[in-house]
Amino acid sequence: MENELPASPPSMTKPRFFLCLLFTFLLVAGQTPWPLMAQDAQAPPAPAEIQEYAVTLDGEVLFEVREGVGSFTPEERAAAIQHRIRQVAEDEDIPVDSITIKRGGDRDNVTVVQGNRPLITITKADVDNRLESQEEVAIELAQHIREAITRYRQDRVPQNLLKNTIFAVLATILTLMLYSVVVRISGKIFPPVSRWGGERIPPLRLQNFEIISQEKVERWLLRILQLSRLALLLFILYLYLTFVFNLFPWTRTFGKNFLNHFLGSLEFILTSIGNYLPNLVAIAIIVAITYYLLKGVRAIFSAIESERLVIPGFYTDWAKPTYNLLQILIIALAAVVVFPYLPGFDSPAFRGISVFLGILFSLGSTSAIANVVGGVILIYTRSFQVGDLIQIGDVKGIVVQKTLLVTRICAFNNQVITVPNSSLLNNTVINYAVAIREMGQPLIVQTTITLGYDVPWRDVYKVMIEAGRRTANILDDPPPFVLQTALNDYHIAYELNVYTRNWQELRYTLSELHQNLQDACNEAGIEIMSPSYLALRDGNTSTIPSTYLGDDYLPPGFRIRLPK
């Protein structure tokens, strides 16, 4: 038998991109069943294929059986013949010269025998399609069997096995050395070759956007060279395995059929791909369009984020989340378009899994969807950004992460607090950094003390403003100022307002401000306390500051009224 190997495909030059798109469009269009086409002519039925069953010895095909004999099917007949020949080959006491031919009594059949043991009977049906006679076929077959049995026995001689083992060891050493040489030489040659190619292949640009840079060209060239090296190493491995397997009789079958197995698997894969090619081309077009669409959208939003492209009313911090949302929508749309082209799309299993996932998503994603909606609203309302100091209820700290589901805040004690975005929509968010960052206005830090009515408010103003000026990170312009926020029953509430731009040090600034307030009040003789009075007013001095009382003011005396 002669094995026909497929011819190597001719090398193809890389066409231009639009020619590839045109070719794929025509290919998909050619696979479409147009209504104007005539009905296909009914092809004549193909002749029934005759099944052949090989009789082998040590992996070598001696002949093939097509016809049965009596109650034996062709498969059973081939198995029986192979068993008888193997028995003769394993018995070394049987000389190969004892294998001869013998014509039957009816002279219609010729039998290949070993002594008086029949091995195979050649019938007229076995030679119907051949030019030789039954006797000529039997003589040729007997000679073939004698040679195969001789090789079978010689391959199992200890001297031959030892020699083949030495050859296998030498082949292994040579293969390892060859692998080492290829890897070392390629490791030194490939980087300069890829750099050389990158310098001579111009990068692909679209105005100010660099679609394919020189670094990417060099990286792709290096990967192509690495793939070629891998192909070479696999080819060397194939030669090594084929040689070693053919040395020993127990693995010779696999060694001879190694290439056939590989080519058979490759043929199966290519046939499957060829049958699926129209759908595969459609999927490739959709994937290519999606890829370049995402690449173009990403380039636009990257330009917006780096302020190379300015759109009035569209903030730079919206660029990345907007691109992420568009990416999800584009990929989801592409998936919807691609799904009908996938293998097994209409199968009940695919539909069952789709329904199961849909129900699972509907039942378990209610809160997740609420958090995602909350995250989207927070992004476009610009309530805060990563790095801002915010306060949400009792939680106060620096925003360290903002996602579509949750927001993470690092408190002043380094505890990271995770807040669901849906909860943020129902609470007031206080941002201490947005006025400085976006409006250019300094942050006003406020603190309040309460003093009695006997302390002149002008003195209090001077002391509190002086305390504010002593504090670090407090601006002189605008200057600090004091407000009286409440006139309570026993004391006045004085609110000190100071300006700062360093909101990162707000805790320490407020603490230092309190320290300076205590020092300044102590230096001015003002006691920081909120008095509570319980007194008989008759005979007591008024709590009105003395500057408002006349020079002739005298404290009233007690009046005691006795009952008559």
At residue 211, the 3 state secondary structure works out as: strand
Same domain, 413 and 447: no
Same domain, 59 and 136: yes
- Counting every residue, how long is the chain? 564
Contact 301, 265 (CB under 8 A): no
* Strands (E) located in 318-422: 389-392, 395-402, 406-411, 416-420
Domain count, the chain: 5
Dihedral angle over CA of 334, 335, 340, 344, nearest 10: 150
Asked whether residue 175 is domain-assigned, the answer is yes
Residue at 409: amino acid letter: I
Burial (Cβ within 10 Å: 0-12, 13-18, ≥19) of residue 409: buried
Q: What is the pLDDT of residue 461?
A: 94
Q: What is the pLDDT of residues 322-361, one digit of tens each?
A: 888 888 889 988 888 887 887 767 777 777 777 777 776 6
Q: What is the pLDDT of residue 457?
A: 92
Same domain, 107 and 72: yes
Contact 453, 486 (CB under 8 A): no
Asked whether residue 450 is domain-assigned, the answer is yes
Pick the last residue of a domain from 340, 364, 388: 364
Asked whether residue 20 is domain-assigned, the answer is no
Contact 78, 53 (CB under 8 A): yes
> Residue 538: how many CB atoms within 10 A of its CB?
11
Q: What is the pLDDT of residue 108?
A: 67
Contact 155, 58 (CB under 8 A): yes
Same domain, 58 and 129: yes
Chain centroid offset of residue 496 CA: 55
At residue 53, the 3 state secondary structure works out as: strand
Per DSSP, 158 falls in state H
Asked whether residue 3 is domain-assigned, the answer is no
Asked whether residue 9 is domain-assigned, the answer is no
Same domain, 168 and 220: yes
Asked whether residue 541 is domain-assigned, the answer is no
Q: What is the pLDDT of residue 249?
A: 80
Pick the last residue of a domain from 94, 119, 154: 154
Burial (Cβ within 10 Å: 0-12, 13-18, ≥19) of residue 226: middle
**Structural domain that includes position 237:** 158-275
Q: What is the pLDDT of residue 16?
A: 40
Same domain, 170 and 260: yes
The answer, as to whether pTM is greater than 0.75, is no
Same domain, 91 and 181: no
Asked whether residue 512 is domain-assigned, the answer is yes
Same domain, 244 and 164: yes
Same domain, 490 and 510: yes
Residue at 499: amino acid letter: Y
Instruction: Give helix then strand counts, H and E, for the chain.
Output: 14, 15
At residue 411, the 3 state secondary structure works out as: strand
Q: What is the pLDDT of residue 564?
A: 66
Q: What is the pLDDT of residue 169?
A: 93
Please state whether the peptide bond connecting residue 478 to the residue before it is cis, i.e. omega within 30 degrees of 0: yes
Residue at 137: amino acid letter: V
For the chain, 564 residues long, give each residue's pLDDT as a single digit of tens. Answer: 333 333 333 333 344 444 444 434 434 434 444 343 334 444 455 455 567 788 888 777 877 887 777 777 888 888 888 888 888 888 888 888 888 888 765 556 788 888 888 888 887 777 766 667 777 888 888 888 888 888 888 888 888 889 889 999 999 999 999 999 999 998 888 888 888 877 777 776 655 656 667 777 788 888 888 899 998 998 888 888 888 888 888 777 777 666 677 777 778 887 877 777 788 888 889 989 999 898 888 888 888 888 788 788 777 777 888 888 888 889 988 888 887 887 767 777 777 777 777 776 666 666 777 777 777 777 777 778 888 888 888 888 888 988 878 889 998 888 898 888 888 877 888 888 888 888 888 999 999 999 988 889 999 999 999 999 999 989 988 999 999 999 998 889 999 999 998 888 888 899 999 999 999 999 988 888 877 766 555 556 677 777 777 777 777 766 667 776
Domain CATH code at residue 413: 2.30.30.60
Q: What is the pLDDT of residue 23?
A: 39
Domain CATH code at residue 486: 3.30.70.100
Same domain, 165 and 262: yes
Q: What is the pLDDT of residues 370-394, one digit of tens each?
A: 777 777 777 777 778 888 888 888 8
Asked whether residue 562 is domain-assigned, the answer is no
Dihedral angle over CA of 449, 453, 457, 459, nearest 10: -90
Same domain, 302 and 397: no
Q: What is the pLDDT of residue 2?
A: 33
Same domain, 314 and 248: no
Using the structure block, give the residue that is written with the tokens 């002749």: 47
Pick the last residue of a domain from 364, 388, 406: 364
